[in-house]
Amino acid sequence: MQRLNVEELWPAPPHLRTSRHPLHLRLLRSLLFNSAPSHFLTFEPPTAHPLLTELDILRDISKRLDALGTSYMLTGSMAMNYYAVPRMTRDLDIVIALPESMANPLAQALKPDYMIVEEAVLEAARTHFMFNAIHQEAVIKVDFVCRKDDAFHREEFLRKDRVAIEDFETWIVTAEDLILSKLVWMMDSGSEQQERDIRNLLIEPRDTAYLNRWAPVLGVQARLQKFSSP
């Protein structure tokens, strides 16, 4: 048996590792000890695991989907981080082509490392909706969005790119399709974050002919022109 200080039990993550802001310690103490005066516990020390990141989960998911022969592409904030200024995220968004016959094989391929409800996977495949899986150890959520069967989403999916990230490869939405998706999301949310993302994505040259072809169809032409104006 070992007697360990809380600082030894739970070292601070890098962004909290300052003497002025030991937030991780205050949170842990409030959960474990409540009002107890001592901050020591006697226990068997847990097995240490390396801290898994969103990139580790993307690597893992990509390999599992590739092994299944399932078509997919990364979108959302993680895709944004690939193309432009990175920003904090704890979720992954994956668009997936999922026939009903592959719902159970996919769920089995993710177990037991991910919490996933097989019935939700099947229902999402039937309705072209979404389901999620949560990595048990990292507690990182993966939102799987079943690809919609309309002209834009079919072409968007066909245009996806295969890219190398560190030591693995994955499929990712193109920058133009990410811009169009964010313009659509802005109609519902009015999010300033989406606006900043679009401006960052447009810093680099993009396929304006493609953007201008689909913007009227999606009802976002006026919004796109706003970003194109000097």
* Contact of 106 with 98, CB cutoff 8 Å: yes
- pTM for the predicted model, two decimal places: 0.75
Q: How far is CA 161 from CA 11, 24, 48, 147, in A?
A: 39, 39, 37, 16
pLDDT of residue 226: 87
The predicted pLDDT at position 12 comes to 44
Segments of the chain scoring below 70 in pLDDT:
1-50, 190, 229-230
Give the C-alpha separation, 194 to 200, whole Å: 10
Q: What is the pLDDT of residue 183?
A: 93
Report, in this order, helix, strand and coil percent for the chain, each rounded to 5.
50, 20, 35
Q: Quote the pLDDT of residue 116.
A: 96
Is the domain defined by 52-147 classed in CATH 3.30.460.10?
Answer: yes
Domain with CATH 3.30.460.10 in the chain: 52-147
Do the Cβ atoms of 199 and 101 come closer than 8 Å? Answer: no
